[in-house]
Structure 1
Amino acid sequence: MKIPQTPPNIESYLAQLDSREAMSKVGKIFSASLGPYDSKGRYLHWDKLRHLTPPEGYDPELFWLAIRQSRTQLSKALPFRDKAGKPFSFCMPDGVVRDLLWIEKNSTGAIVVDEQITDEKTKRTYLIGSLIEEAISSSQLEGASTTRRQAKEMLRTGREPQDHSEKMIRNNHRAMLFIRDYKEEKLTPSLIFELHRILTEDTLGPEDTDKAGTFREAADDICVFSEDDVLLHIPPKASELPQRLQALCDFANHSDGMDSPNYIPTVIRAIVVHFMIGYDHPFVDGNGRTARALFYWMMAKDHYWLMEYISISRVIKKAPRRYMQAYLNTETDANDVTYFVIHQLEVIREAIRDLHEYLKRRSQRLQEASSLLENSHLQQVLNHRQLALLQHALRHPGMEYTIKSHQGSHGTSYQTSRSDLLKLSDELHLLRKVNVGKKDLFIAPSDLAEKVKTGR
């Protein structure tokens, strides 16, 4: 990882020219012929743009300055400053507006998939699965190494975590549930501290065990390094954090109407909150997890209900360097948060598309399981939870299920889950029940498909 090259500024560029040439260049910089993007529609940083062939009549520096000027004309100030006192800003070029409209359309309305998926009875199942997915991916971004299968088994059965990685994942899952419970409340420093406490419980180092849910102190002033030990970021001093966190809460809680010139769309506000937690780094650890959790908070608060079903961390984890690059581009180019906004809009779009693909596959699998029952007396016997388990069992012979895991997958009561599984084992003989200690295991037999077909 390397720090992007700082862009040239207009003063130093013009100082190299004589007055006549300078006047000509100024005209090109302030002309309306170039917009905020390159010829391929990309919002590039100088570090990449300098390697491209500029338009005729422009050298690379002049090309950059013209693009930077067009961005400045579109820019809106944010109520935050960096550690040197310089303001942050963002702009909304056409591509950003297009992405916002797409996300609005695809995250506030109904999901159009098979009716079994969108039925109210099954929504809880998919929400639980999404909360688990975000908990795992967000933790893995920050070093958790537990396999996905182990992590899902832990969360669904409710067993205690066995190591540091599993503790991180359990904490992330609890934090997502905390957000759901408090999403209607105003954001306060106290709530952020509680969220951080939940996220870092029993996972901080021995020297930091008392710092869950508290600001880092002056002695903890930290630097952010890359995996190859490149210094990437020096956050503001600890003494500034109370004021900065209160400013963040004020920003999160205040929203101008759409008719106001100061209006900022909810999605961008949520992304900016995410960015500022990462920039300020108010805690000794867990800043990334807290930032991503607060993004969900902001979106859920403004009724972007579908966001509860997606995992942005899973998408970020595919290309973590791009995530960090968006921070670096902002910090090295006049605090232009548009780089981070564009990156996160792409992440959100991909996460929503992934959800639709998942639901489509899930619908097909349920239909496949249903087709096995088409000519069976079982067709009208199974409820949607049993059908979902049966479909999973058909693809995973030998899989073990418990009452707690079934309860965790569907958000039902213990008794309801017990009844579901006992019917599949004792009454219909589709699962094999084995007693291990004080716990019943329900195992998918290798001949399950034949049992379903024959009803025996």
Structure 2
Amino acid sequence: MISELFIISKELDSRYRELPNIARKQFIIECIAEELYNTNELEGIRSTREEIVRSTKDTLFNRKSKKRFESMISSYFRLLDLDDIAYPRTSKDVRKIYDNITGGEIDPQDLPDGEVFRKGIAYVLKQSGTGKVVHQGVFPETKIINLIDKLLQFMNDEQLDIPNVIKVAVGHYYFGYIHPFYDGNGRTARFISSMYLAKDLGNISSLALSRGCNKYKSKYLEAFEISNSIRSRGEMNSFIETFLEIMIDELKAMNAELKEKSYLLDIAAQKINSDTSLSHLPKVFRDFMFVMAQNYFFDSSSGLTVAELSNILGKSPATVRKMAKYLLDLSLVEQKGERPAYYGIAPKYFEQ
């Protein structure tokens, strides 16, 4: 399973690197937005994909927006910069990650009330909604701190003869077992796991964890219950296998998605370059259309603004507006909204 995970990750990374620049950036934005949307779904936090995509773009382009999830999104962008990853070494490092990942999304009564973690008792309830307690988190806080520090020592020990991916699976379970916070344990554990997965699988593949855990939510939560059961007594093989299965299945899905989008983008490029309505125009018009095509296949949001197009094409906003108007008159692109207006390629363009 580890071998398969490495092969699929390498294939995904290779396919990603073959993408043109805008498609690559849009794919990253979509990956992060999808990751956050899915982790929000798992944690019961209300959000829409559109809202997260917009917040992700604003964060990427350093817009001062005070949007929701800003600190969380910034954390995931840092995850993509492998040179900038600072692995947690102490309990206080875990608390910093928690604060960034959950910023503004935890009810005040559920925020940590101890020195670093919670000082009260926390329970994990059965996923079926019966209210049955299936696990009680570690207690008191001194024990939580002690076990989190031991967990980090295990995760950061390069001398252990255990594959890193297996260590991540074990660490992921054990973080849930300790349950150091009243709320937000899952998203914190998945982010920390993604940090360590990036070591072996690369940063793009590390973004598959929350997507897979949400898609296979019942299987994921059941894996914790099985290992926690009195009969299993913390036996880890079942959990590790489920963890790896979820990662493999989601990476396969991401690979298939990227393969299809890349194929469609190639066809779009051929159509744009052979389009007689564009052939007599300066090359920048075809560049404009190719940017629109990348946005069409790789971005689920409303489109691109004049400011974004100006930045991408290296042209002034006034020039971009003129080009957009010309292409609008040809019915090759369409406009949604005003102030800001979002431009996107007309869907019927690819149906003709």
- In structure 2, the residue matched to 1:129 is 30
Q: Which runs of 5+ in 2 are unaligned?
A: 60-64, 328-332
Relative contact order higher in (CA < 8 Å, ≥ 6 apart): 2
- In structure 2, the residue matched to 1:387 is 290
- Distance in 2, matches of 1:395 and 1:325, equals 33
Moved more, 320-329 or 371-380: 371-380
Q: How far has the Cα of 1:388 moved from its partner?
A: 4.3
- Distance in 2, matches of 1:109 and 1:445, equals 29
Q: Secondary structure of 1:373's match?
A: helix
Q: Secondary structure of 1:233's match?
A: strand
Q: Is 1:273–1:294's contact at 8 Å kept on the other side of the alignment?
A: no
Q: Secondary structure of 1:443's match?
A: strand
1:245 aligns with 2:148: yes
- Distance in 1, matches of 2:15 and 2:78, equals 29
Q: Secondary structure of 1:255's match?
A: coil
Match for residue 201 of structure 2 among 292, 304, 307: 304
- In structure 2, the residue matched to 1:198 is 100
Aligned-partner residue type, residue 322 of structure 2: D
Distance 1:235 1:184, change over 3 A: closer
- Distance in 1, matches of 2:347 and 2:201, equals 44
- In structure 1, the residue matched to 2:117 is 215
Q: Is 1:196–1:212's contact at 8 Å kept on the other side of the alignment?
A: no
- Distance in 2, matches of 1:280 and 1:144, equals 22
- Distance in 2, matches of 1:120 and 1:434, equals 24
- Distance in 2, matches of 1:222 and 1:186, equals 23
- Distance in 2, matches of 1:155 and 1:286, equals 20
- Distance in 2, matches of 1:272 and 1:403, equals 48
- In structure 1, the residue matched to 2:224 is 327
Match for residue 4 of structure 2 among 84, 90, 102: 102
Q: Secondary structure of 2:274's match?
A: coil
1:149 aligns with 2:50: yes
- Distance in 1, matches of 2:102 and 2:87, equals 22
- In structure 1, the residue matched to 2:62 is none
- Distance in 1, matches of 2:306 and 2:173, equals 41
Distance 1:418 1:270, change over 3 A: same
1:441 aligns with 2:341: yes
TM-score (ref. length: structure 2): 0.79
Distance 1:388 1:275, change over 3 A: farther
Distance 1:434 1:266, change over 3 A: closer
- In structure 2, the residue matched to 1:358 is 257
Aligned-partner residue type, residue 206 of structure 1: P
* Number of positions where the alignment pairs a residue of Structure 1 with one of Structure 2: 329
Larger Rg computed on CA atoms? 1
- In structure 1, the residue matched to 2:182 is 284
Match for residue 177 of structure 1 among 77, 81, 99: 77
Choose between structure 1 and 2: higher helix proportion: 2
Q: How far has the Cα of 1:289 moved from its partner?
A: 0.4
- What's the % identity of the aligned pairs? 18
The RMSD of aligned alpha carbons is 3.6
- In structure 2, the residue matched to 1:92 is none
1:229-269: CA deviation from partner (whole Å, max 9, x where unpaired): 1111111113311110110111111022xxxxx51101111
1:359-400: CA deviation from partner (whole Å, max 9, x where unpaired): 11211221232132132326954687862433545999x945
- In structure 1, the residue matched to 2:330 is none
Q: How far has the Cα of 1:281 moved from its partner?
A: 0.5
Q: Is 2:27–2:298's contact at 8 Å kept on the other side of the alignment?
A: no
Q: How far has the Cα of 1:190 moved from its partner?
A: 2.6
- In structure 2, the residue matched to 1:77 is none
Q: Is 1:215–1:241's contact at 8 Å kept on the other side of the alignment?
A: yes
Q: Is 2:335–2:344's contact at 8 Å kept on the other side of the alignment?
A: no
1:116-164: CA deviation from partner (whole Å, max 9, x where unpaired): 52x5675443233212211111111110232323332333245544xxx
- Distance in 2, matches of 1:400 and 1:105, equals 34
Q: Secondary structure of 2:56's match?
A: helix
